[in-house]
Amino acid sequence: MGITLPFFLRLFVWFSLRNMRNHLGRALTVLLGIALGASVFASVRLSVQASLDSFTKSMEVIAGRADKVLVSPGGRVSETLIADLLKHPLIAAASPLLTVYVRVAAEGAEPFLLVGFDPILDRSFRAWQAAGAGSQDPMTWASLLGEPYTLIMAEPAARLNGWPRNNRMILEHAGQKAQFRVLGVMQPKALALADGGHIALTDIATFQEFTGLHGWVDRIDLRFKSSVRDGDLDLVRKILPEGVVLTSPSAARQSGQGMIRAYQLNLSILSFASLFVGMFLVYSLVALNAASRRQELAILRSTGASSSLVFFIFLAEGALFGIAGWLAAIPISSLLIRYLLHGVSQTISTLFVRVRVDALSLDMWEVLLSFGATVFISMLAACQPAREAMQVAPKEAMAVSLHGMRNRRSTQNLGLAGLACIISVLPLSKLPGILNVPLPGYLAILLLFLGFSLLAPWLLERMSLGLSPLLRRIAGVPAYLAGRYVTDGGVRYAVSVGALITAVALFAALVIMIHSFRQTVEMWVHQTVSGDLFLTTKMGEINQFRFPIPPEIVEGLKGYKDKIDIIENRRFFLRYGNFPYEFEILNLEVFFKHADFFWMKGDPDKIRLQMTRGEGVGISEVFSNRSGLTRGDTFRARVEGSLVELPVVAIVRDYRTQGGVVFYSFSQFMQRYHDPGWGGLRIFFKDRNLDLDGAVSELRSDISRRWGERLSMISGKRLRQSILQVFDETFAITTILLLIALVIAALGITTTLTVLVLERSQQLNTLFAVGASFGQIRAIIFWEAALMVAAGELAGIICGFILSHILVYVINRQSFGWTFLYAVDFGTLVMSLPLIIITALAAALPAIRLVFRQPPATLLRER
């Protein structure tokens, strides 16, 4: 006779839900653990997804309906090219575009994106609409075209700057200031959504006059006639001047999306660890229910219930915990995401591409993924105890003295399987990533955790056998019996110790990785990012240093050379294939007097001479890993119309992002190619015995008095502190995820030990009946917990060291292109691990209190 769904649900309510209601504390503990894991997983993914959506939306609305884009790598395109393009038979439309970040000339004002365009030529490329006006209102067009220094703002930018409708506002950029009149506010759609709505539009002529870019544009967007094929594009390329290239409008979007998705995957894997550790909680509680209700299961079987029905009842418990835990995660996620959204978007803006999240969109795919992962993990955790529950024989209804799960598999076989998993980690970790994603590395991490969890029972068995005689001499019979219980426990301990191994391994690996990374970055900062004072144009960094320091200021700064050394530089943000990078030229002659690169390969003395002479470029490790170039290869790039072809003579560590950096001599660049102008500079005082803080303050005041409105300045000490602060803030999210995983692991220890106590309640009460004291019996449980924690700590530390190598040399290298010097913070590990041990042992207290929940005489009489 088949079992109908209504009957199954009634039986589930009667058998499982009533039991959960009677033991509400246990159920709520597991729900809390699952909810924490699910909320972390969902919040991290939603936060990164919001940043990805914001970036994608911004890039798409700015790209508009362009088929191709004309750009000059590192430079700009002459607007005289537009007339020739519009005459070309294959081109339907062409529109010039310029962008720059500006801000209101006020202390603490936030920058917003100013777009210069031709309202007539741009009509078929990008949509925008003024509030209260028709689509692309002609009157607004006419005002932008006919009245200089007017603009129209998006609503967020207008709100940020006090709603200056029909008012005038002074904007500044690269040391220049001008008064603009605000014509109106754009409706919140299409182009008004770019950069989170922090955007304004102005006529291209006004833009060029404001920025000093007369006759130049950042790019020209093209739309082709419908009959054009890819092969016809060569006809367009023939009319292009040297240095101007035809590229896809989606190139920048795709590379940015790739970097954000790599970051999302890394955070998702880390946050999934919290959900993975939560799986042990579900296992423990379902196993607890099966162990404590063995007599009821036997009665259920004796009344006609099949073994498969019992299996599905306990599997349904796992599903219920998954669903309820996911629902409980919703309010937790709403609180957690407020913190994570800011931290994640700030990290992405710092490390990869600029994003400004204006809204959190609820992606149905992310919701389903979070729900599916939570329920699947919970049901997977319930499978093993459900399988053990279905093996209860009906005859045990009459012979309940067989209490306890008898299934005990060989720890040696499991240990060999675990060892095989661990051995496979090395070859897997050496495989290249797939589509720039370190999938083999992540699989290696999964096998590493699985291997140590399978090895745990054998390790416990060996440890307890070896330590039992010693424990008997040191701590007496309770410690000896605890060792024997652990020895006889077999695979029953695999999951409980596996939870602790996972948490400890994550803790140790992340402590090592973060310490290694910070130590390396700190060395790089003080060695390469050295200098007493750094100068650039106003808002130079946010505008990618595209506006050089004016010549008159350069000449004025040279007047200080009697007491300072100046290292001038210029950075160009270019693309190598499908990823961005920086091409930096700097005064290497002076640089090597006061600073140095963080060398990875080659003889530094020889390389310094080669680079100073301009015989080749130095590339960062990130650029080398991304491009595949190494020493001896040829680097090629077009920079402001100049074709640069130079050998690679050095690979250095550099932790700037966006694809890495290529370094070359400033003076040699001028001799071989053209004068790029000073994009920025750093200053060293020649007399190093000076009070450097005072000297920097005095020089800064003098420069500020003369050109303060046109330059941005920061002391070298403050810059280095800010870099390290950004580093610490970047890993703050990682720390939060780690702490949550440790909390969930502690909850797992509590429920696991409770299972073990209930399974041996008859044995423990028999010991009491033959003369053992309450204290001795509690000591047995305490020592059993101590052995489990010791094994978990030992295996977790070993696993953590292996995991840290995978994170440093595989995951980071394949995800972000960099590695760092491996260093272990033994101080933090030595101080922190005892705290984890104490916490884990404290988690055993509820199980110890449970030993004599019922009077021993009553329990023994029932047996």
Cβ proximity of 531 and 595 under 8 Å: yes
- For residue 78, report the phi and psi dihedrals to the nearest 5 degrees: -70, 135
Rg for the chain, CA atoms, rounded:
33
CA 496/CA 504 separation, integer angstroms: 13
227 and 268 share one domain:
no
Model confidence band, residue 854 (pLDDT cutoffs 50, 70, 90) = low
Between 2-16, 333-347, 555-569, 786-800, the lowest mean confidence (pLDDT) is in 333-347
Nearest alpha-carbon partner for 659 in 820, 811, 436, 433: 436
Residue 145 makes CB contacts below 8 A (sequence gap 6+) with: 119, 120, 203
Between 314-323, 576-585, 634-643, 757-766, the lowest mean confidence (pLDDT) is in 757-766
Burial class (CB in 10 A: 0-12, 13-18, 19+), 350: middle
**What does the block give as tokens for 506?**
């994550």
Question: Could you tell me if residue 228 is inside a domain?
Answer: yes
370 and 447 share one domain:
no
Model confidence band, residue 278 (pLDDT cutoffs 50, 70, 90) = low
Whole-number Cα distances in Å, 331 to 26, 32, 593: 21, 12, 57
Q: What is the pLDDT of residue 549?
A: 92
Question: Could you tell me if residue 728 is inside a domain?
Answer: no
Burial class (CB in 10 A: 0-12, 13-18, 19+), 412: exposed
Q: What is the pLDDT of residue 407?
A: 43
| Domain count for the chain | 4
Last residue of a domain, one of 248, 271, 288: 248
Question: Could you tell me if residue 521 is inside a domain?
Answer: yes
- Find the mean pLDDT for residues 29-41: 79
- pTM of this structure: 0.79
CA 482/CA 464 separation, integer angstroms: 8
CA 348/CA 267 separation, integer angstroms: 12
* Percentage above 90 pLDDT, the chain: 25
- Find the mean pLDDT for residues 435-455: 84
517 and 543 share one domain:
no
Q: Is the pLDDT of residue 584 over 90?
A: yes
494 and 601 share one domain:
no
Q: Is the Cα torsion angle 688, 691, 692, 695 positive or negative in sign?
A: negative
575 and 552 share one domain:
yes
Q: What is the pLDDT of residue 210?
A: 93
Cβ proximity of 55 and 196 under 8 Å: no
Q: What is the pLDDT of residues 161-175, one digit of tens each?
A: 877 656 788 999 887
Nearest alpha-carbon partner for 580 in 572, 568, 589, 590: 572
Q: Is the pLDDT of residue 571 over 80?
A: yes
Question: Could you tell me if residue 495 is inside a domain?
Answer: yes
Directed axis angle between helix 716-730 and helix 732-759, to 10°?
A: 30
Cβ proximity of 720 and 334 under 8 Å: no
CA 509/CA 806 separation, integer angstroms: 9
451 and 517 share one domain:
yes
Q: Residue 821 gets which letter from DSSP?
A: -
Q: What is the pLDDT of residues 90-135, one digit of tens each?
A: 999 999 999 999 999 887 788 999 999 998 888 888 877 665 544 4
Name residue 132's amino acid: G
Helices and strands: H and E segment counts in the chain: 30, 21
Q: Is the pLDDT of residue 248 over 50?
A: yes
Q: What is the pLDDT of residue 406?
A: 44
236 and 256 share one domain:
no
**What does the block give as tokens for 169?**
């506002």
202 and 328 share one domain:
no
Reduced to 3 states (helix: H, G, I; strand: E, B; else coil), residue 245 is strand
Last residue of a domain, one of 381, 407, 433: 407
Q: What is the pLDDT of residue 403?
A: 43
Q: What is the pLDDT of residues 39-51, one digit of tens each?
A: 878 887 888 888 8
CA 463/CA 44 separation, integer angstroms: 39
Last residue of a domain, one of 709, 731, 758: 709
> Which carries the bigger pLDDT value, residue 72 or residue 819?
72
Q: What is the pLDDT of residue 633?
A: 95
Q: What is the pLDDT of residue 749?
A: 63
Question: Could you tell me if residue 725 is inside a domain?
Answer: no
495 and 455 share one domain:
yes
Model confidence band, residue 564 (pLDDT cutoffs 50, 70, 90) = very high
- Find the mean pLDDT for residues 183-196: 82
DSSP per position, 289-356? HHHHTHHHHHHHHHTT--HHHHHHHHHHHHHHHHHHHHHHHHHHHHHHHHHHHHHHHHHHHHHT----
839 and 785 share one domain:
yes
Burial class (CB in 10 A: 0-12, 13-18, 19+), 128: buried
CA 450/CA 381 separation, integer angstroms: 14
**What does the block give as tokens for 763?**
């044995």
95 and 242 share one domain:
yes
Burial class (CB in 10 A: 0-12, 13-18, 19+), 214: exposed
Burial class (CB in 10 A: 0-12, 13-18, 19+), 705: exposed
Q: What is the pLDDT of residue 139?
A: 58
**What does the block give as tokens for 296?**
């009821």
- Helix (H), strand (E), coil (C) string for 2-36: CCCHHHHHHHHHHHHHHHHHHCHHHHHHHHHHHHH
Name residue 186's amino acid: M
Q: What is the pLDDT of residues 490-524, one digit of tens each?
A: 556 666 677 778 778 888 888 888 888 888 888 88
Q: β-pairing, 112-117 with 91-104?
A: antiparallel
Q: What is the pLDDT of residue 759?
A: 60
Question: Could you tell me if residue 845 is inside a domain?
Answer: yes
Model confidence band, residue 605 (pLDDT cutoffs 50, 70, 90) = very high
96 and 1 share one domain:
no
Residue 392's domain comprises 1-63+251-407
The overall average pLDDT reported for the chain is 81
Q: What is the pLDDT of residue 135?
A: 45
Question: Could you tell me if residue 120 is inside a domain?
Answer: yes
CA dihedral 589, 594, 599, 602 (to 10 degrees): 50
